[in-house]
A = this chain, B = another copy of it.
Amino acid sequence: MELEPVTDLPEIRPGDDIADLVADRVTLESGDVLTVASTIVSKAEGRTADLEDYPVSGRAKEIARRIEDVAGEEKDPRFAQAVLEESTEVLIDCPFLLTETRFGHICVNAGIDRSNVPDHDVLLLPKKPAESAERIRAGLEARGHEDVAVIVTDTCGRPFRHGQRGVALGWAGMPASRDWRGELDRDGHELGVTVQSVVDELAAAANLVTGEAAGGTPAVAVRGWDFGDLDGSDELFRDVEDDLVRQALREWRFEP
Residues of A within 8 A of B (CB): 1-3, 11, 92, 95, 98, 106, 113-118, 155, 158-167, 176-177, 180, 183-187, 189-198, 200-202, 204-205, 207-209, 211-214, 216, 225, 228, 233, 235-238, 242-249, 251-252, 254
**Min C-beta distance of A246 to chain B, whole Å:** 7
Q: Are A1 and B212 in contact (CB under 8 A)?
A: no
**Min C-beta distance of A128 to chain B, whole Å:** 18
Q: Are B208 and A159 in contact (CB under 8 A)?
A: no
Residues of B within 8 A of A176 (CB): 162-163
Residues of B within 8 A of A161 (CB): 106, 167, 197, 200, 236-238
Q: Are A186 and B214 in contact (CB under 8 A)?
A: yes
**Which B-chain residue is minimally distant from A237 (CB atoms)?**
B161
Q: Are A212 and B180 in contact (CB under 8 A)?
A: yes
Residues of B within 8 A of A163 (CB): 176-177, 195-197, 200, 233, 236
Q: Are A246 and B159 in contact (CB under 8 A)?
A: yes
**Which B-chain residue is minimally distant from A94 (CB atoms)?**
B244
Q: Most chain-B CB neighbours within 10 Å: which of A213, A246, A251?
A: A213
Q: Are B243 and A189 in contact (CB under 8 A)?
A: no
From B114, B207, B212, B245, A201 is in contact (CB under 8 Å) with B207
Additional A-B contact list (19), CB under 8 Å, known A113-B192, A244-B254:
A1-B209, A2-B2, A11-B186, A158-B160, A159-B244, A160-B245, A161-B197, A162-B233, A163-B200, A163-B236, A165-B197, A166-B201, A183-B212, A184-B213, A185-B214, A191-B212, A201-B205, A245-B248, A251-B251
